[in-house]
Chains A and B, each alone.
Chain A
Amino acid sequence: MAENGKKVMVTVRKPPHGSIYVQESIEVMFIFATYDMDLSVVFLDDGVLALQAGQDTKGLGIKGFMASLGALVDWEVTKVYVDRQSLKDRGIREDAIIAIGKDDDSGAPIRPKVLDGAEIASMMAEQHSIVSF
């Protein structure tokens, strides 16, 4: 990714489907990616629920955004992180979250990287700006 030097972060703390926040956060991720920003994405608190496998929104009559999340790596959104404690509190196994892309060579699924709160905090402190959802 050609980067313009500005570090930006998107944080997602809302649960999916009950509101438009997560959908909007994905739009913003794609926009930042298009502008070659040095983008990091962090899912924490109820935001980690967006990474739950097996979501099927047909019954709600909405398209959902599982396909978009699954293609983040294709859009060069590769620095994607998830908070360990938030997963644990919600009974979600770290190896059970959805993939955001596939490794070009091995075809292995790429998942968001699990971090501790302290690691997220120091990453936040390095940003030029943070957009929160």
Chain B
Amino acid sequence: MLHTINKSPFQNSALENCLRIARDGDVILLLEDGVYATVAGTVKSSLIEQAAKRHMVYALEADLKARGLGNLVKDVRVASYGDFVDLVEKHPVHAWL
């Protein structure tokens, strides 16, 4: 199962809602404003630190670059658009809009 989150963790509980439901081994992909959750040293970093113990966590590269983000939580993988397509092909997807 692939879960996608595109909302900022500072203004929306989509990521928390997703992590409550997601099963161990499910893949989490952060994109658009969702990528802010993957930055290290914020008040929301612990969400992804915890999630990375149970899930593969990806952040979309183009969205990271657009927002000037580089210092990510350890274990977050950076995904290209091509990786995104591969993930979508491999898993059923739920978008936490």
Contacts and interface: CB of A to CB of B under 8 A. Distances in A.
Note whether A and B form a binding pair.
yes
A56 B43 contact: no
Given A18-B32, A46-B8, A89 B42 contact: yes
Contact of B11 (A46, A53, A55, A56): A46
B49 interface: no
15 contacts: A17-B67, A49-B36, A49-B67, A52-B69, A53-B68, A54-B70, A55-B65, A56-B65, A56-B66, A57-B66, A58-B65, A59-B62, A90-B39, A91-B41, A91-B71
Contacts of B39: 90-91
Interface string A24-58: 00000000000000000000011001001111111
Nearest to A90: B42
Dominant SS among interface residues on chain A: loop
A64 B66 CA distance: 8
A70 interface: no
B67 A89 contact: no
A90 B33 contact: no
